[in-house]
């Protein structure tokens, strides 16, 4: 099966509505003569800029994603945003379990499982993030940790329900540090994730899930990463904040 590459820009807490509009218009201009439709593009946008970003992306190959959601549709949850609110604002996907959410805001695997279920319920493509610290990697516990994250995040979810799932492997030690996992290390980890999905679901499903690499992805290393058998795309942080650098990542040579 050929999996269509997916390039996701995660803006984190950057860009007002006006800045989002300007960015997308410029990115559209840069992609107008160079974009190849053998790949997909998504932007993970802060909540206040979602609607402006979605409107600016109309008629383009760009899909808009939120960066988080609450698992309830509504209620007394001050400061939270629900799936129906995201879809109404124009989001079609949502990032769940990013390491910053886990480390800074206390998102547990149990919460991530609830958020994943909510995303699927409200027809949002879930982009599930996994990753280990340098201590886990150094002591040989990386695969054990990733297996636990997968098991707890996907608990109770069946293959038919999970068809839209995207998984982003982001070693915590490579996020925003300039340090990137070597293509060999990234491939070995992605292969482990696909093997885990095969063992716990089935080969057909595991072979269809797109696995992305995240962690200091840049225009000068994306092609090497994308050349690996089990890497189907990238979750890009800092390099997605400028249209020219993100356009160069999107237009990597296959």
DSSP letters spanning 16-74: -HHHHHHHHHHHHHHHTTT--TTSEEEEE--GGGHHHHHHHHTTSSEEEEES--BSSSS
Domain residue spans of the chain: 6-250
Residues catalogued as catalytic: 98, 170
pLDDT for the residue 173? 84
What is the chain's pLDDT, residue by residue, as a tens digit (254 residues)? Answer: 589 999 999 999 999 999 999 999 999 999 998 898 999 999 999 999 999 999 999 999 999 999 999 999 999 999 999 999 999 999 999 999 999 999 999 999 999 999 999 999 999 999 999 999 988 998 999 999 999 999 999 999 999 999 999 999 999 887 777 777 899 999 999 999 999 999 999 999 999 999 999 988 999 999 999 999 999 999 999 999 999 999 999 999 97
Map residue 175 onto helix, strand or coil: coil
CATH T-level fold of 6-250: TIM Barrel (3.20.20)
The reply to whether the predicted model has a pTM over 0.85 is yes
Do the strands 6-10 and 210-214 form a parallel or antiparallel pair, or are they unpaired? unpaired
pLDDT for res 54: 98
| Cα gap 37→254, rounded to integer Å | 13
The closest of 20, 23, 22, 90 to 49, measured between CA atoms, is 20
Question: Quick check: 193 and 146 in contact, CB under 8 A?
Answer: yes
């Amino acid at each position: 099966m050929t999996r269509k590459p997916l390039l996701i820009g995660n803006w984190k807490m950057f860009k007002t509505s006006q800045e989002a509009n300007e960015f997308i218009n410029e990115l559209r201009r840069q992609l107008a003569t160079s974009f190849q439709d053998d790949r997909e593009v998504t932007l993970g946008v802060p909540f206040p800029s979602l609607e402006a970003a979605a409107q600016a992306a109309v008629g383009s190959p760009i899909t808009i994603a939120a960066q988080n959601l609450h698992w309830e549709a509504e209620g007394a949850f001050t400061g939270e945003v629900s799936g129906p609110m995201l879809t109404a604002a124009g989001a079609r996907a949502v990032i769940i379990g990013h390491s910053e959410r886990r480390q800074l805001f206390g998102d547990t695997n149990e919460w991530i499982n609830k958020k994943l279920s909510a995303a699927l319920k409200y027809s949002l493509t879930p982009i599930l993030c996994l990753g280990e610290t340098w201590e886990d990697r150094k002591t040989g516990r990386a695969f054990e940790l990733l297996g636990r994250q997968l098991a707890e995040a996907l608990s109770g979810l069946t293959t038919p329900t999970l068809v839209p799932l995207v998984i982003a492997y982001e070693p915590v030690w490579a996020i925003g540090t300039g340090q990137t996992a070597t293509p060999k290390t990234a491939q070995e980890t992605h292969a482990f994730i696909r093997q885990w999905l095969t063992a716990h679901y089935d080969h057909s499903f595991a072979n269809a899930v797109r696995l992305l690499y995240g962690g200091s992805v840049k225009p000068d290393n994306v092609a090497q990463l994308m050349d690996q058998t089990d890497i189907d795309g990238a979750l890009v942080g800092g390099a997605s904040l400028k249209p020219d650098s993100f356009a160069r990542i999107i237009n990597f040579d296959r």
